[in-house]
Structure 1
Amino acid sequence: LIRPVYSIDLPDYTGLKTAQNGSILTVTFHNPSSPINLWNLDTQNDLIDLVSRLQENNKTKVVIFNSDVPRFFMAHLDLSL
């Protein structure tokens, strides 16, 4: 069985890691400067760009969000934004 490969052209984000598997995109929140995965300006800008690109893409059917930090999905917002 040959499965078609769909992928969305994404840049290397600072606050996100992305991996495409067919029509499924996995997005991992990734803030190496924070042990608790702090939401910062990079994360915000990366997510805005990603959503914009997904709106123009009809091949990606599922987006799974996860965290690069065990036990923390997203701790809180950096108020210095």
Structure 2
Amino acid sequence: IAYFTTRDGNESTHTNRDALGVLDISDITTPIEILVDNSLKEPYGLTLSNGSLFVCDKAAGLTKFSIEKDELGNVSALVY
């Protein structure tokens, strides 16, 4: 599993390019997008610690997400 943030760099607008995402990289040659959250305004990076995902969002500060997994252990949701 890989977590990523992207941003468009335009502070005056919020676009779908301002995102937090999760990828399944079990086959690195064909990563699969598991989910994308477009609720952040300007995500600038992240860290994973003790089952929580912390994302820096320039406009809102530090945002904490809980990582929910399904019965197979796959990431199913990121919850504020």
* TM-score normalised by the chain length of structure 1: 0.30
Compare the two structures and name the one with the higher strand fraction: 2
Higher-Rg structure is 1
* TM-score normalised by the chain length of structure 2: 0.30
